[in-house]
Structure 1
């Protein structure tokens, strides 16, 4: 059984927060541990937001509790009045993650039945210890570069297989392929994009991620590949143009990687288009339909290559594995 970082931080942070609260001789030291559990999040950004929401919500809860309990009385009904006032405000201020922790503080104040400056100071220190412990633990977040590189390699392998299958369709008319790479590619893209979002949120000052544009580009290319497959599977493989296209797709399959080879292949597409235009006109309806579908296939693959060219020109493309690891090492140095 694998233990995740969030579980490990919770297991370490909770007793530490309680221990610190006990050293400070705070009443209700266990509440510091509860705050730590609630503030441990999967990313730095979500941890900071969670801590901020809970801190503001707790201050609001304390203010409303003091006013209601001291103005009315300490009775179970007044707890309901406090919550009726408190919860709608947290919703309006968009700090609802702080409702649970603030309720604990409200019950502390109710149980004391005498709100003093000492009690208020005790509660503020509990909040500081609990939230502070969680924030310190969340300063460390494991790098996701290795996982993203793994997704990149798996994705490019699947692209190679799909392009190779299109070449096989064009050359041999073979339709024995199971197509499992299509389903797996969807899953890889979903997982990769979720990891990119997590990595962005682990860097509070980062607004761009080198992998974000890359996986967005691959998703758009994948949609084009799915459109090409029906075209390729319906083509008659007995014509010379089909063999020429098959050779092109074979070469493209062998060249799938994060680098920029799109310009070279775009030139090949343009040469193929020109050659098709110079070929003798179709003699039969079947040949006409085949040539028309081949031309559509060329247009689709042209868009596929233009996407890659655009991302390499305007975006921040992902590096090869070796280059990526070298850059990561330089940044650490």
Structure 2
């Protein structure tokens, strides 16, 4: 069953089955139906539905337009150019450009048909129906990516925990682990791959408007951008204060609670208390202290953005579930 999910295998099987059906019906240019089937194989069900619909519309338009032009004006290179001048802009205007190439091929059959009659109209229509129809059936067989997505999600959350824990340590040691950059690069690559998987999962569903997978990955991707921003602050930290240790402890707490289910409400409340406590502390005595304290506050503000992003995702997801 896993092999049917392979695009190359689906294209091969679809082309062979299409060719068999077309030959059984004694259709002219039967190989064209196989080519249409190959072109109609897509990597998601929703995309396949859209492309298939557009190809049917474009092919029907091409057959009708070709019949009228070639029947009235004649069958030659000039009339074929006239057909293209009319047909190509129409496909663009009607947003059915995906079907332009196979539709033009069908038109060339009518261009050389002698004479153009109902037989040829039926022939071209059946080539279209069989090619797109067989491909549509094949497109129903898509791999389940949810398990891989769940593995990605666990990897991303674990990586965030590791990175934030390292930040908590670096705040008070002024050192950055050698492997942190390696972790960040691997994480960024995994996030991009998982975003593609999330898109495919959502677009493999006909009946659900569920966008949880893409919403979750967008949230994690935006958090990753904030984490990169948090890392830049360490270039300017070179003094420790009471606030430094408090923020370090809070950062470690965030790392420990990075999992998906946490709505961050308690963390955000604690962060607000932390900010209020900072306001009550003595003011910095030197310019260097002021700059470092300001950098710490900016670090905390960015951490707040990180948490708010997660909380917004959780609240929106809960609201969606309550409306279902």
TM over 0.5: yes
Deviates most, 122-131 or 279-288: 279-288
Deviates most, 209-218 or 268-277: 268-277
2:47 aligns to what?
A: 46
For residues 152-198 of structure 1, give each alpha carbon's deviation from its aligned partner in whole angstroms, at most 9, with x where no partner exists.
12222221232122112212111343523333333333322222222
Unmatched 5+ residue regions in structure 1?
318-333
2:72 aligns to what?
A: 71
The answer on 1:5 being equivalent to 2:6 is yes
Unmatched 5+ residue regions in structure 2?
320-324
1:210 aligns to what?
A: 212
Deviates most, 259-268 or 278-287: 278-287
1:18 aligns to what?
A: 19
For residues 108-127 of structure 1, give each alpha carbon's deviation from its aligned partner in whole angstroms, at most 9, with x where no partner exists.
22232211212211221121
Mapping 1:165-176, distance limit 5 Å = 165-176=166-177
Change (3 A) 1:243 1:24: same
Mapping 1:1-333, distance limit 5 Å = 5-177=6-178, 178-260=180-262, 262-315=264-317
Once residues 295 and 85 of structure 1 are traced to their aligned partners in structure 2, the CA distance between those partners, rounded to angstroms, is 63
Do the aligned partners of 2:5 and 2:142 also contact (CA within 8 Å) in 1? no
Once residues 76 and 299 of structure 1 are traced to their aligned partners in structure 2, the CA distance between those partners, rounded to angstroms, is 68
Change (3 A) 1:102 1:283: closer
- Matched residue of 2:212: which SS? coil
Once residues 29 and 96 of structure 1 are traced to their aligned partners in structure 2, the CA distance between those partners, rounded to angstroms, is 23
TM-score by length of 1: 0.86
Once residues 272 and 75 of structure 2 are traced to their aligned partners in structure 1, the CA distance between those partners, rounded to angstroms, is 82
Once residues 291 and 146 of structure 2 are traced to their aligned partners in structure 1, the CA distance between those partners, rounded to angstroms, is 47
Aligned residues: 316
Do the aligned partners of 1:217 and 1:308 also contact (CA within 8 Å) in 2? yes
Do the aligned partners of 1:232 and 1:297 also contact (CA within 8 Å) in 2? no
- Matched residue of 1:107: which SS? helix
1:233 deviates by 4.1
Once residues 279 and 121 of structure 1 are traced to their aligned partners in structure 2, the CA distance between those partners, rounded to angstroms, is 85
Do the aligned partners of 1:36 and 1:134 also contact (CA within 8 Å) in 2? yes
Do the aligned partners of 1:37 and 1:134 also contact (CA within 8 Å) in 2? yes
- Matched residue of 2:163: which SS? helix
Change (3 A) 1:129 1:293: same
TM-score by length of 2: 0.88
Change (3 A) 1:295 1:91: closer
Once residues 90 and 170 of structure 2 are traced to their aligned partners in structure 1, the CA distance between those partners, rounded to angstroms, is 63
Once residues 119 and 187 of structure 2 are traced to their aligned partners in structure 1, the CA distance between those partners, rounded to angstroms, is 60
1:132 deviates by 0.5
